[in-house]
A and B are shown apart, each in its own frame.
Chain A
């Protein structure tokens, strides 16, 4: 069963909180991982790997640098679900 945009956003928010301690309410589609949420490249990779497992998708290394905002990640994950 495919995850909806809202479900992916909620799940991603949990992963971000687990990794960084950022309050889930601060995670929104338009937020930039680096500029708004202050997530560094190592934490980003940890979130990516956990998101792959949680949503059953593959996010290649080359794609990670294109995921600037939370919305970019949600869109990629939703589209990537087979």
Chain B
């Protein structure tokens, strides 16, 4: 007779319990960056909406930022660190490929031996990881999950690049996900389009750098191509995320898009026909574009400035190098 296997099942629903945040120590104004790109404060503000971007000092790395953000999320949730049994870190800028950021952070915050792995989905990484944490908890594979987006993008910028470098900042945002009595994380609409892999990403490989064939690889983008995709294609994804959540734009208390560029955020909001009552996250103004960290950082700030949003619905959408994208509606903690 064949023995019957056990399979895990989990709680029916999950939700975000708390957010944590850490930003690079320095607020870098546009004037500090305009020399090598022959630009001006006004040019950068007009095209990106950025006034200052947060950048970390040499001694601070993405693991440090992630640890601070994660510790805050754990403390705010009121869950013991030892109860966290899953840590997912979204990042593209850790200069050491192995070991993972997540395993080190799990240990540092007191969640050793949680399952831990990193996700490479660029600016969609956090939304990807939220989808995974939700699914894994509901499947019974974990109970409390830390989802962290962390980047030290200032390590992969070229001061003379006019396409993306001046947008980028350093920071980490974390969310603690756990079981819920009521629905708190709607299905993700996610995907990729590798045919546009050249639109945004690193401009060289480490082996090319080793062999002296290219300078230190840094990020580049085809700005107009990315802009078109990020607004008009992503608006369709955002509408689909509302559909699968069973809600309408008018139900949104907040809209938290990846903080890529204020012009994208503004045009996006216009395409979605958001009501005036929907609060739009605009953390980019003083943080810059922090890739995987931008949505949780913007969420954290939104909750600090608008505590009345607690319990409200937020649409979050990440999109970036791959190209990859993910959107879902969540209940704000």
Contact = CB atoms under 8 A, between A and B. Distances in A.
Given A42-B263, A46-B267, A61 B223 contact: no
Contacts of B224: 41-42, 44-45, 61, 64
Nearest to A61: B225
A46 B47 CA distance: 13
Residues of A contacting B: mostly? helix
Interface in A12-70: 40-42, 44-46, 48-49, 61, 64
Nearest to B228: A45
Contacts of A48: 228
Interface residues on B, range: 10 to 19
Nearest to B196: A61
Contacts of A61: 222, 224-225, 228
A68 to B, nearest CB: 14
Contacts of B228: 45, 48-49, 61
B227 A40 contact: no
Contacts of B227: 41-42, 45
Contacts of B261: 42
B232 interface: yes
Residue with the highest number of chain B CB atoms closer than 10 Å, among A40, A49, A61, A64: A61
* Most B-side CB within 10 Å, residue of A41, A42, A44: A42
Interface string B203-229: 000000000000000000011110110
Contacts of A41: 223-224, 227
Contact of A40 (B47, B225, B232): B47
Contacts of A45: 224, 227-228
Interface in B217-259: 222-225, 227-228, 231-232
A31 to B, nearest CB: 19
A49 B47 CA distance: 18
A76 to B, nearest CB: 16
A46 B235 CA distance: 14
A14 to B, nearest CB: 17
A61 B232 CA distance: 13
A46 B267 CA distance: 9
B155 to A, nearest CB: 27
A40 B263 CA distance: 12
Interface in B273-316: none
A49 B267 CA distance: 12
B104 to A, nearest CB: 39
Contacts of B222: 61
A49 B232 CA distance: 8
A64 B224 CA distance: 9
Interface in B9-52: 46-47
A44 B231 CA distance: 14
A42 B225 contact: no
B135 to A, nearest CB: 34
B74 to A, nearest CB: 40
A42 B232 contact: no
Contacts of B231: 46, 49
9 contacts: A41-B223, A42-B47, A42-B223, A44-B224, A45-B227, A48-B228, A61-B224, A61-B225, A64-B224
Interface of B: 46-47, 222-225, 227-228, 231-232, 261, 263, 267
Nearest first, the 7 A-B pairs at minimum CB distance are A61-B225, A41-B224, A45-B224, A42-B263, A45-B228, A45-B227, A42-B227
